[in-house]
Amino acid sequence: MAEAMQYSAYSASALWRNLLVPGMDYCALWHDNHTWQLEGEVVQLFAGQPGQASYQVQCDDRWHTRAVSIELDISGVRRSLYLTVAEGRWYAGSEELTALRGCVDVDLGLTPATNTLPIRRIAPAVGDHCDVVAAWVSFPALQIEPLVQRYTHLEAIRYRYETFDTSDMRGAPAFSAELTVDHDGLVVEYAGWWERVIA
C-alpha cells in the first residue's frame, strides 16, 4: 500500500445513503493551492456480504486525476488498488494500463463522489454538455475499463448523466440518471441510486 496522500484544508463533506442496497458513504473534499482530494468510507452489502471500502482520489488544481487509492474488505477478505496518472497514462504499480490512455477522470462504481470530477473540471454552461471517457472501477471486482460518459447541464444544480457502450454515442445511452448537486459540485441526489442524508 502506498503512503497515504496528504492534504491541508477541509472544503466540504457529504453523507450518502445507498438506495439499492443497505449502505452509507461518507466523503470529505479537501483542497490546497495545488491539489483537490476526495476521501471517503463506504459501508454496504456487496453481493449480500457485509463490506467496507476506503477511497482516496487526488487531483491537480484543474481537477485532473493524479492518484487513486482503494482498500476493500468484504467479510474479512481484503483487497487493494492503487493507481497513478502521468501525462495521460495510467499505472497500477509500474504496469501501464494502456486501455486507459487519454482518460482524465476516475469513476468509482460504489460512490457518487467521483461525478464531481468532470462537473468541476469542465463546468459546462446550462444547456450544454461535455463528453468524457473515464477510468471506471467496478466493485467488488476492482476491474478497470474506459467508460464513455456525457454530462448535460439541465439547469443550475441539475445534470443528466449518461454512459454509452461505444465512443461514437450514436445509439441510446446504456445508462441514464439525473443528478442534483450543491455549489461544491457534490451530489445531493443521484436519482434512484444515492441521496444525501443531510443536504
Q: Distance between CA 151 and CA 149 in Å, rounded? A: 7
pLDDT at 109: 97
For the question of whether the overall pTM of this predicted structure is more than 0.85, the answer is yes
Locate 15 and state its grid cell.
Answer: 453523507
Residue with cell 471517503: 40
Q: Please determine, for residue 18, whether its predicted confidence score (pLDDT) is greater than 90.
A: yes
CB contact burial 14-41 (16+ within 10 A = b; e otherwise)? bebebeeeebebbbbbbbeeebbbbbbe
Give me the residue spans of the domains in the chain: 9-196
**What value does the mean pLDDT take over residues 102-130?**
96
Place 7 in a pLDDT band, splitting at 50, 70 and 90.
Answer: very low
Any idea how long the chain is?
199
Q: Is the peptide bond before 140 cis (omega within 30 degrees of 0)?
A: yes
pLDDT at 174: 94
Q: Distance between CA 20 and CA 5 in Å, rounded? A: 31
Locate 191 and state its grid cell.
Answer: 436519482
Instruction: Please write the tens of the pLDDT for every residue from 180-194.
Output: 999 999 999 999 999
Share in percent of the chain as helix, strand, coil (round to 5)? 5, 55, 35
pLDDT at 73: 98
187 contacts 194 by C-beta, under 8 angstroms: yes
Hey, how many other C-beta atoms are within 10 angstroms of the C-beta on 9? 9
Nearest of 58, 39, 53 to residue 81 by alpha carbon? 53
SS3 label, residue 117: helix
Locate 171 and state its grid cell.
Answer: 445509439
pLDDT at 8: 59
pLDDT at 28: 96
Taking the C-alpha atoms of 157, 164, 91 and 120 in order, what is their torsion angle to the nearest 10 degrees? Answer: -10
